[in-house]
Amino acid sequence: MVTKKEIKQSVVIAFWFMLLTFPIMVIKVNTIKNEVIFRWQALFWTGVGTFFASLIWNYFLRLKESKKRADIKDDVPTVHRLLNTPQFRTPFLLAVGVFFLAYPFVFPMYHTSIMISALVYVMLGLGLNIVVGLAGLLDLGYVAFYAVGAYAYALLNLHFGISFWVVLPIAAVLGAICGTLLGYPVLRLRGDYLAIVTLGFGEIIRIVLENWSEFSKGPRGIPDIPPPGLFGIELGQHATVIYIYFIVIALVLTTIFFVNRLENSRIGRAWIALRDDEIACQAMGIDKFKTKLTAFALGATWASLGGVVFAAKTSYINPMSFTIWESITILCVVVIGGMGSAIGVIAGALVLILLPEYLRAVAEYRMLVFGALQVIVMVFRPDGLIKSVRKTYKFERAEK
């Protein structure tokens, strides 16, 4: 039941939103005809839409509060239930597998290229999920390791002609080394201090790449980076995109396998213990410094692998491809998807990377809609789209 207070509040919100969006929604300048067009109808519909959106918002907030008061808990997301139920797990995984295998042959090359970008962010998100989601370390310079992988392939190929497949393991090792070198001096910090230091490290890497022209070619970047080879066979543009797509699929499956195994291993349990209570973790005999360092090294490894794929896909890189906004985007993938949840991170990457592209239909308003959707998710699903579910072990008395 809508109250008078909610109606009054919605009217005030609609008025202020109309006032704030007046320059965007009403005024349109036609530079060709040198005239200003006032779109009053757009302002009216903005007010109406905001009014009803506010009422719906209040309704769902009331629903959320009533669930809290009634102590209604739904701890296990539907996806986890499906995957834990044998009769549903096989058809579900089979359907997902068929969809991704058929995707490049059903959709145009443009959509396949976008999906490759989304899958690269799945790798990056799963790597950062080790650091942020499992170990609880806020890393705002994660893009630096992404840049390490991309520049490793570009420079090694440029100067020594080393192929994609040879650089892939080299970049993984370089990423782990860089993660260790960064982690060693800064992991005695925690919280905001750790975030600021990692942010500074990411910016240092970008500025070095931008100014050390003899090494990285500076702002000009490195062009003509070759795609992955296939036994010396020359592939057309469309065939190359499909080939890279299946390489990324294989790398994503490998990442999921390793991250899942790590999460359920001894080191994975140590990361979760460290995230939940650092002092209790140390009191139980866990070396928190080595545990943090391992998280940074492994997270950086997957970022470097993603960088190699990014360089091979775009065939051109420059320092502006690795700004702080990339780190923020990857962090959003983890937070909105569900911190600590591999399935959530995959969903978050697909939503955050694919959604802006498919919102191009609303032209200049797409980022506004995109931002609003992120706010809605954070308000109504603070644990993410698919939250993490801890494994529980049940011991039963054996029958004699």
Helices 191-211, 324-337: crossing angle, 10 deg rounding: 140
Confidence of residue 73 (pLDDT cuts 50, 70, 90): low
User: What digits encode the pLDDT tens for the residues 306-317?
Assistant: 999 999 999 899
Instruction: Specify the 3-state DSSP secondary structure of 27.
Output: strand
- Residue 312's pLDDT is 92
Given a cut of 60, whether residue 330 has pLDDT beyond it is yes
- Residue 251's pLDDT is 93
User: What digits encode the pLDDT tens for the residues 241-262?
Assistant: 999 999 999 999 999 999 888 8
Average per-residue pLDDT for the chain: 83
Given a cut of 90, whether residue 197 has pLDDT beyond it is no
- Residue 74's pLDDT is 53
For tokens 């200049």, the residue is 364
Confidence of residue 394 (pLDDT cuts 50, 70, 90): low
- Residue 366's pLDDT is 64
Confidence of residue 398 (pLDDT cuts 50, 70, 90): low
User: What digits encode the pLDDT tens for the residues 85-143?
Assistant: 777 878 888 888 899 999 999 888 888 999 999 999 999 999 999 988 888 888 888 99
Domain positions in the chain are 4-69, 107-380
Given a cut of 80, whether residue 383 has pLDDT beyond it is no
- Residue 230's pLDDT is 82
Helix (H) or strand (E) holding 245: helix 237-263
Confidence of residue 364 (pLDDT cuts 50, 70, 90): low
Given a cut of 80, whether residue 362 has pLDDT beyond it is no
Task: Tell me the longest C-alpha to C-alpha distance in the chain.
Answer: 92
- Residue 76's pLDDT is 64
Q: By the 8 A CB rule, do 157 and 370 touch?
A: no
Given a cut of 80, whether residue 65 has pLDDT beyond it is no
User: What digits encode the pLDDT tens for the residues 250-298?
Assistant: 999 999 999 888 888 888 888 888 888 888 888 888 888 888 889 989 9
Instruction: Specify the 3-state DSSP secondary structure of 72.
Output: coil
Please state which CATH number belongs to domain 107-380: 1.10.3470
Q: By the 8 A CB rule, do 387 and 344 touch?
A: yes
User: What digits encode the pLDDT tens for the residues 148-159?
Assistant: 999 999 999 988
Helix (H) or strand (E) holding 37: strand 35-38
- Residue 70's pLDDT is 60
User: What digits encode the pLDDT tens for the residues 179-190?
Assistant: 888 888 877 777
Closest C-alpha among 388, 183, 149, 145 to residue 295: 183
By percentage, how much of the chain surpasses pLDDT 70? 90
Q: Which of 45-49, 62-66, 98-102, 124-128 has the lowest mean pLDDT?
A: 62-66
Given a cut of 80, whether residue 2 has pLDDT beyond it is no
User: What digits encode the pLDDT tens for the residues 202-225?
Assistant: 888 889 989 988 888 888 889 989
Structure token digits, residue 101: 């295998």
Closest C-alpha among 275, 262, 272, 270 to residue 287: 270
By percentage, how much of the chain surpasses pLDDT 90? 22
Confidence of residue 32 (pLDDT cuts 50, 70, 90): confident
